[in-house]
Chain A
């Protein structure tokens, strides 16, 4: 039951405990107003840089540095976006990013859920030790494996291909995702599977037809984490992709900067275009996302 308790939905509306209960209406409302005020000010400060980003992305060249700052661009110049896409092959960068992202995420979901299923559901010698090793790799700084991994891919002649950015994700998808999915699988009642097993279903069928269909929320969570990771990833493409035709969005925007350093409006438009999908992703998948964090159980008892 402890597992189920940890998988509580974060955004559930019933959170009565934190508010101090006071007698008079005035004393009850005053702290509330203060908190609202502080949240509004804080939220504004946190949102300010992004508002500034979107505002600048719509400005005329030369209007970026006007003092006092112009929050609402006048005139609004939507062409910044089309122009940014023209001066650099952003359509190609987007395509490259999507190819890597989709294939890597598929690998993470398939091989990660297989590993998680074995750790959550099957008994085999060495399970405890293997799971312990898996978890301890979470603490390993990535730079330790960075150089030998680069050399390995260089020997395989995989530099300047997408393979180094995709293939490793078909090898289990990383300890964090395995851990996350395992935690969720443990919350699915075992009886369902047992019934299927008695009906003659093998291990693969009970994984594929019983466990996975019930694991939608955690698969969505891992998918979202994976999307954001690959969309934002900078270091790995930087190391493995130097050909201009293979660059991802993260790299593309960076190279953009050196050459067109003065065209802030275009640079901001390109950056804004890269932020928007992540914002939409977060906005629509917020529930899964927060739930995934709660589900690791790391954040709970």
Chain B
């Protein structure tokens, strides 16, 4: 590097020119960070204390929006409950299903790529096509699911048309898209060094104990990652409910972001929608932090291999 430094032109040192180049390279992202991330975050925070219908100037109402949320608005607790119900059942279930699939799809079998594709493809199906397809699978009279269950003598269910079954229906549907997490688990499984399995085998560990004492600890950062990302994503479930049920029947699938969307773009309550967004942000942040705190107890980082 010394030879290069010696060639620096003019009064700029190489260090300075490098830094200047870096900021120029980063210019689009710095603008993006300011205009599309940090600016909106601050604006959203300020808007949360206003009442604004986009037509008249925003009015400062202090904690009015939060007051409404926690005492007046009946739909806020319903949407929060629906979202929590959906999230806390589907996220752990997803992780388990995806992990089992990844373990099976990591076996060195012939044609395994074909199976990987079969399991992965549903998770890249367009949300709209997906929703329409599942609307039909859940169709009470002739839908695929009732026909299939009928073969086992299960009486037909009304799935999306019944308040008690609507949320479980969404959970069933979301399982179909476990492939995204499965791929991440696969990548994790393949980066576990083989010598650990060999050492365990020499020590007399069977398949189950190798799984318990090698695979699980080595994979724990990936499980953690999938839980954190899964929770952030699932809290924001929107498209499927918007297309399939519009929040019904009797608000049983009115998920948080759907309710937020309705407030912002149907009722034009931008202030209230911003307040809702910030409450969601705090909830997500809380659960993410809790996961990071608990992680110390169960997530194993192989420190010396970390860069």
- Interface residue tally on B, bucketed by range: 35 or more
Size category of the binding interface on chain A: 35 or more
- Determine the distance from Cα of A59 to Cα of B239 in the docked complex, in whole angstroms: 27
Could you say which of A12-20, A84-92, A212-220 contacts chain B?
A12-20
Residues in A whose Cβ lies below 8 Å from that of B274: 147-148
Per-position contact with A for B135-179: 1 when CB-CB < 8 Å, else 0?
A: 011000110100100000000000000000000000000001001
On whether A290 and B186 interact (CB within 8 A), knowing A124-B23, A144-B40, the answer reads yes
Do A115 and B28 touch (CB < 8 A)? yes
What residues on B are CB-neighbors of A11 within 8 Å? 113, 116
Task: From B41-49, B70-78, B84-92, give the one contacting chain A.
Answer: B41-49
Contacts A2-B305, A282-B121; is A294 near B134 (CB within 8 Å)? no
Distance of A295 Cα from B10 Cα, bound (Å): 40
B56 within 8 A of A: no
CB-defined contacts of B119 to chain A, threshold 8 Å: 42-43, 46
Bound-complex Cα distance A147 to B281 (A): 14
A16/B108 in contact, CB under 8 A: yes
**Chain A residues in 8 Å Cβ range of B243:** 234, 254, 257
Q: Is A158 an interface residue (CB 8 A)?
A: no
Residue A5 at the B interface, CB < 8 A? Answer: yes
List, in ascending order, chain B residues with CB within 8 A of A300's CB.
187-188, 191, 222
CB of B26 within 8 A of CB of A231, answer no
Measured between alpha carbons, how far is A268 from B133 in the docked complex, in Å? 8
How distant is B2 from chain A, measured CB to nearest CB, in Å? 11
**Most chain B CB within a 10 A radius of its CB, from A13, A43, A47:** A43
Q: Is the CB of B128 within 8 A of A144?
A: no
B183 at the interface (CB under 8 A from A): yes
Q: Which residue of A lies closest to B3 (CB)?
A: A198
Q: Say yes or no: is A140 at the interface (Cβ < 8 Å to chain B).
A: yes
Residues from chain A with Cβ under 8 Å of B144 in the complex: 48-49, 52, 69
Per the bound structure, the CA–CA distance linking A90 and B302 in Å amounts to 52
Given contacts A118-B22, A235-B238, contact A10 B127 (CB under 8 A): no
What distance in Å separates the Cβ of B69 from its nearest Cβ neighbour in chain A?
Answer: 15
- Write the nearest CB–CB distance from B24 to chain A, whole angstroms: 8
Residues of B within 8 A of A114 (CB): 25-26, 28-29
Contact check, B264 vs A147: say whether CB atoms are below 8 A apart.
yes
Contacts of A204 in B (CB 8 A): 21
Cβ of B47: which chain A residues have Cβ within 8 Å of it? 147-148
Q: Does chain A have a CB within 8 A of B301? A: yes
Residues of B within 8 A of A2 (CB): 305-307
In Å, the complex CA distance between A261 and B17 comes to 62
Taken together as a complex, chains A and B put the C-alpha atoms of A71 and B237 apart, in Å, by: 32
**Residues of chain A with a CB closer than 8 A to B7's CB:** 200
Closest residue of B by beta carbon distance from A169: B32
Please name the residue on chain A nearest to B260 by beta carbon. Answer: A143
* Given A3-B307, A124-B19, A197-B4: A146 in contact with B137 (beta carbons within 8 A): no
Decide if B295 is an interface residue (CB 8 Å cutoff): no
B107–A35 touching, CB < 8 Å: yes
Within residues 83 to 108 of chain B, which ones have a CB less than 8 A from any CB in chain A? Answer: 101, 103-108
Cα of A204 to Cα of B274 in the assembled complex, Å:
41
By a CB distance below 8 angstroms, the chain A residues around B60 are none
- B301 close to A253 (CB less than 8 A): no
User: In the assembly, what is the distance between CA of A271 and CA of B132, in Å?
Assistant: 8
Q: Do A198 and B183 contact each other (CB < 8 Å), given the known contacts A6-B191, A49-B134?
A: no
A298–B101 Cα distance when bound, in Å, is 19
A50 & B44 in contact (Cβ 8 Å cutoff): no
Q: Does B81 contact A (CB under 8 A)?
A: no
Neighbouring A residues of B54 by C-beta, 8 Å:
151, 154
Contact flag A149-B104 (CB < 8 Å), given A122-B18, A172-B28, A197-B4: no
Within 8 A of B (CB), among A109-130: 111-112, 114-115, 117-119, 122-125, 127, 130
Q: Is the CB of B132 within 8 A of A267?
A: yes
**Nearest chain A CB to B245 CB, angstrom units:** 13
B216 part of interface (Cβ distance < 8 Å): no
- Asked if B262 is an interface residue, CB under 8 A from chain A, the answer is no
Partner of B128, one of A17, A111, A254: A254
Q: Report which of B32, B124, B128, B257 forms a contact with A271, defined as CB distance below 8 A.
A: B128
Do residues A231 and B307 form an inter-chain contact, with CB atoms below 8 A? no
Docked complex Cα distance between A118 and B280 (Å): 33
Which A residues are within 8 Å of any B CB, using their own CB? 2-3, 5-6, 8, 10-21, 32, 35-36, 38-39, 42-43, 46-50, 52-53, 56, 65, 67-69, 111-112, 114-115, 117-119, 122-125, 127, 130, 133-134, 137, 139-152, 154, 168, 170-173, 178, 194, 197-198, 200, 202-204, 207, 228, 231-232, 234-235, 238-239, 249-251, 253-254, 257, 264, 267-268, 271-272, 274-275, 278-279, 282-283, 286, 290, 293-294, 298-301
Q: Give 9 closest A-B pairs by Cβ, nearest first.
A: A171-B32, A172-B29, A148-B43, A271-B129, A145-B40, A299-B187, A111-B28, A148-B40, A124-B19
Can you list 19 A-B pairs, Cβ within 8 angstroms, ordered by A? A10-B187, A15-B106, A17-B192, A19-B107, A47-B121, A50-B133, A52-B133, A65-B141, A134-B33, A144-B41, A150-B264, A171-B28, A171-B32, A207-B25, A267-B132, A268-B133, A271-B132, A279-B121, A294-B191
